[in-house]
Amino acid sequence: MYFTDLKKHQYESMSHFNQLPEFQKELKRLGSKYPSLCDDLKNFEILISEYPTGIGKNFEIVHSSEIVKIVKARLACKSLKARSIRIIYAYHKNTITFVYIELYFKGDKANEDRVRIAQYLKSVI
């Protein structure tokens, strides 16, 4: 009985993942170019559910406040072999919610869209 209750409790406390409309467009565009991207994103979600701000050198916190942390990470993409895609997401600790802000291939774009991040922060704060 204890095991069943524990499993139920873990399920209820699972994280929620949301996407900005711009992110959805980028995911669709890059997903058609790199077929493994959707599966890679699911694996990434499993990782950040356990470690919300990431572990190791592939994660960088670009904004931190009591309300939200914005994290820039490398998303390993099987279709790209040794190269990776960058993903920017917001982690809301109080609600255990993740919001995907931006997705881009480093070869196409040098840096994240800081204007988009600033707009997101304005909408949250």
Query: Residue 3 CB: number of other CB atoms within 10 A?
Result: 7
H or E element at residue 73? strand 69-76
Report in angstroms the alpha-carbon separations of 59 from 10, 13, 24, 33, 72: 25, 24, 21, 24, 6
pLDDT tens digits in sequence order for the chain, 125 residues long: 344 443 333 434 457 999 999 999 999 999 999 999 999 999 999 999 999 999 999 999 999 999 999 999 999 899 988 678 999 999 999 999 999 999 999 888 889 999 999 999 999 97
Q: Which domains does the chain have, with CATH numbers?
A: 15-124 (3.30.2310.20)
Report in angstroms the alpha-carbon separations of 53 from 26, 35, 116: 22, 26, 20
Question: Which sign does the torsion angle of CA 88, 38, 105, 26 carry?
Answer: negative
CB–CB of 75/84 below 8 Å?
yes
